[in-house]
Amino acid sequence: PDNALAQPVGTTLERYIMRKQSEFAYATGELSQLLRDIALAGKIINREVNRAGLSELKGAFGTENVQGEQQQKLDVVANIRFIRALKNGGQACAILSEEEDEIIQTGNNQGRYVVAMDPLDGSANIDVNVPIGTIFSIYRRITPVGTPATKDDFLQGGRKQIAAGYVLYGSSTMLVYTTGHGVVGFTYEHSLGEFFLSHPDLLIPQNGKIFSCNEGHWFDYPEYVRTYLMECKRKGYTGRYVGSLVADYHRSLLMGGIYLYPPTKKKPQGKLRLLYECYPLAFLIEQAGGAAVADANGTPILDIVATDCHQRSALVIGSTNMVKEIAASATATAKLS
């Protein structure tokens, strides 16, 4: 980010977006509007999340999503709210959602952007009051303006993202995003209904002492993961696993650390979704000076070729030096075997 123009903590999201837009002569205001629409959806979902226990929105909705997972009511509500906000905003011509098998055409065929999203990740955590999050990824469409979007608009590859971010519904609600010029964080003030700039230039520490993975899958993990985790324990590192990707990710971004969801026997491709979980979080972490790879030989997540909208990927993401350590551990383990 251009620190000369760094904006004061406490400025509103609206003012921040307008000033950022004025920095880019070519900016037409369409991406600005799209970011506003996402922030609005985040505010609406925040309200639903905060009162889930009171408005019988907890518990399953009785339908299943494309993952075959029981849809929690809030999943469905979040999906509907995001789609509505993006439809009304007019900038997104299509949406790819974890909750929908097919791409959703918004009818805004003049829109120049498409949005891939996980409207509410970690929904199994909703009923036990654990932080949950929305993850989004934005591409400029490659199909002709005026026509409906196609899968090709979503399968351009991680390095074609023009913006990405998340909303974390935690002890406070935060919007964190990048447009390719660094990572910025806003904290929501409920009483005013506004996001205020709280983290103007987020950079992940290059080293960390926190590892985050589900050790219940221990015997399912590849050998190099166990070797690395044993090394972490030998060094006295701390284990922290919320079981909600956005919460584990956000802690790693702020404090340093590594989050791992390696391939397992049950999910040899990994569990997390490439287009609306791994790609956006990888874009953010590289913008924040961190690293995100898919496997032992360190293939950057952003270089993985996307061939299916709902394809899965393994994910190792966080402090650069920790990601390097696990790659070294994989090489060492390979030599031993």
Tell how strand 238-239 and strand 210-212 pair up. Answer: parallel
Token pair recorded at residue 123 = 């929904």
121 is an annotated ligand-binding site residue:
yes
Of 159, 165, 189, the closest CA to residue 38 belongs to 165
Minimum CB–partner distance for residue 192 and ligand P6P (Å) = 30
Give me 46's structure tokens. 């925040």
Beta bridge partners of 139: 114
List the x/- string, 244-273, binding to ligand P6P by CB under 6 A: xx--x----------------------x--
User: Of 24-32, 121-129, 155-163, 226-234, which part binds ligand P6P (CB under 6 A)?
Assistant: 121-129
**Residue 40 or 135 with smaller CB distance to ligand P6P:** 135
For ligand P6P, which stretch binds (CB under 6 A), given 140-148, 242-250, 294-302, 321-329?
Answer: 242-250
> Which x/- pattern over 210-239 shows residues binding ligand P6P (rule: CB under 6 A)?
----x-------------------------
Largest Cα–Cα distance of the chain, in whole Å? 59
Does residue 124 bind ligand P6P (CB under 6 A)?
A: yes
Question: Would you say 330 and 224 are in contact if contact means Cβ atoms under 8 Å apart?
Answer: yes
Residue 335 labelled as part of a binding site? no
Please provide residue 193's backbone torsions phi and psi, each rounded to the nearest 5 degrees: 65, 30
Give yes or no for residue 121 binding ligand P6P (CB under 6 A).
yes
243 touches ligand P6P (CB under 6 A): yes
Instruction: Report whether 237 belongs to an annotated binding site.
Output: no
Q: What secondary structure, in 3-state letters, does 268-327 show?
A: CCCCEEHHHHHHHHHHHHHHCCCEEECCCCCCEHHHCCCCCCCCEECEEEECHHHHHHHH
- Count of chain residues binding ligand P6P (CB under 6 A): 9
**Which residue ranges are tagged as binding site for Mg(2+)?**
98, 118, 120-121, 277
Which residues would be at the binding site for ligand P6P (CB under 6 A)? 121-122, 124, 214, 243-245, 248, 271
